[in-house]
Amino acid sequence: MRLGLLGGSFNPIHRCHLSIAQSARRLLQLNQVLFIPTGDPPHKQPGTLASAQHRYHMVKLAIQDQPAFTLTDIEIRRSGKSYSIDTVRALQEQYGSDTEIFFIIGLDAFLDLPSWKEAAQLLTLCHFVVISRPATTFLSVASLPLFPEVPQEELRALDTGRLERADIPLKNGRTVTFLRLPPCEHSASDIRARVADGRPLANLLPPLVESYILREGLYREDSERF
């Protein structure tokens, strides 16, 4: 089994998240994509982050008609700070050694990988699938100490559009796949601002998610449901 992991706050989940999951599943021939909403941080500003339960439920609504998409509350249930390596180890144990794990991540977040807990070890446990992000270059990866062997010419080709995919083998036997996908012009923060201002959402969300946000009064400045 080839299992993709797609984590995030999903605050809220929107069509770009679903498009990334669909593209990664098709291009990497994944059997399943597992969505992993983050838990509640110890300190959060009111009105900026919907509760973990709200975000979990929105993901559930967004993927309910996608048989290859599934959902876990593994990070929501975990007490204290949640680290990706703990999540990957727990899922490896849950799914078994026959499951190959693909960690789907945006390029901007991937550039912070050296600061993650046990980053080098994490690279040995799963394949990374790195998705293009606005205002971030693939060539930036060449400056990361974890990737001295990355061929810069392939990274430049991704940045200029001459390549849409590059599979870079690592010395540990794993592969990092870089995908240049069509840019998404909208973000979760833009959607939250639209909700707060009462502006139309213009099909940015799955209909059931949009209805849930309006029904529960999420992301409204006067909301007390966080």
**What b/e string do you get for 61-81 counting C-beta neighbours within 10 Å, with b at 16 or more?**
bbbeeeeebebbebbbeeeee
Average pLDDT, consecutive stretches of 10 residues, N- to C-terminus, the chain (226 residues): 97 96 98 95 65 97 97 93 94 96 97 95 96 94 85 95 95 93 88 93 93 94 45
What global pTM score does this model have? 0.93
The residue type found at 8 is: G
CATH superfamily membership of 2-187 = HUPs (3.40.50.620)
Q: What is residue 46's predicted lDDT score, i.e. its pLDDT?
A: 54
| Every domain of the chain and the residues it spans | 2-187
Q: Tokens for 184, please give them.
A: 């998404």
The predicted pLDDT at position 223 comes to: 46
Q: What is the per-residue pLDDT for 79?
A: 82
Ramachandran category for residue 53: left, alpha or beta (phi over 0 → left; psi -120 to 50 → alpha): alpha
Backbone angles phi, psi at 118, to 5 degrees: 50, 50
SS (H, E, C) 176-189: EEEECCCCCCCCHH
